[in-house]
Amino acid sequence: MNKTLKCILWMVVLVFIGYKSIYFKKLHSMKAVNTGNFNAAAYASNYLNITLPGLMGKAIPVDRLLADLQSAPQKTFDTYSNALDIGTIRFFWVKGRGRVVSVNEENVTLQTDSMHAIINIATEYVFGNAVRDATGLIHINDFGSTADLNNISAEINKLIRRQVLPPFKAKAKKGDEIEFSGAVELNSAHLDVAGSEFIPVSLKIMR
């Protein structure tokens, strides 16, 4: 095979590889795939009922969180908190036990086991992005639009209101010992744990 024929054959091969490797697709069609077909309800159900129970080992015990916030607040935020946005609002993935000291229409107040600190568990108004963002598993670049991200939070909160809270509210009373997991939103610039509500992912009455 002469040199000229070899060159022609190599050019044919390179053209064929280039043709198969490069293709063009309209941007709006990609957005349609990322947003129009996204099932936020299914995603939220899987996240709440399958993903989060498997992450209990990574949740910070609430008494350790409270102690660390007292002794080294900024280090605690840097070590344990997550958020999708840059700013002072951060979210913590927590677990713990405590005894019910009061029950009202909006929350249940617990005294924690070790530190005997007073915290509030939300039982009526469950909104915001705390549960979505606290674990750090969900990233903004994984989704085609902010609407998808907002819909995830809305669906997670809806499931908590429908699945987690009703059976607990029907039985919880003062004096019960509670085991819980969930998320809490805290502001590193204006830290106020007592004024915050923990959003529950699981609530178990131990008696």
Choose the weakest-confidence range: 29-33, 73-77, 181-185, 197-201: 29-33
For the chain, report the end-to-end CA distance as a whole number of angstroms: 88
**Angstrom distance (rounded) from CA 130 to CA 174:** 26
The mean predicted confidence, pLDDT, of the chain is 87
What pLDDT, on the 0 to 100 scale, is given for residue 6?
65
Q: Is the pLDDT of residue 127 over 70?
A: yes
Pick the more confident residue, 33 or 79.
Answer: 79
The per-residue pLDDT for 8 is 63
Q: Distance between CA 65 and CA 62 in Å, rounded? A: 5
46-86 confidence digits (pLDDT tens): 999 999 999 999 999 999 999 999 999 999 999 999 999 88
Report pLDDT for 124: 94
How many other CB atoms are there within 10 angstroms of residue 176's CB atom? 17
Torsion from C-alpha of 189, 194, 198, 202, nearest 10 degrees? 140
The whole-number pLDDT of residue 22 equals 40
Q: What ranges make up the beta strands (E) of the chain?
A: 60-61, 89-103, 107-112, 118-122, 177-187, 197-205
Q: pTM higher than 0.85 for the full model? A: no
Which helix (H) or strand (E) segment holds residue 30: the answer is: helix 27-31
3-state secondary structure of 4: helix
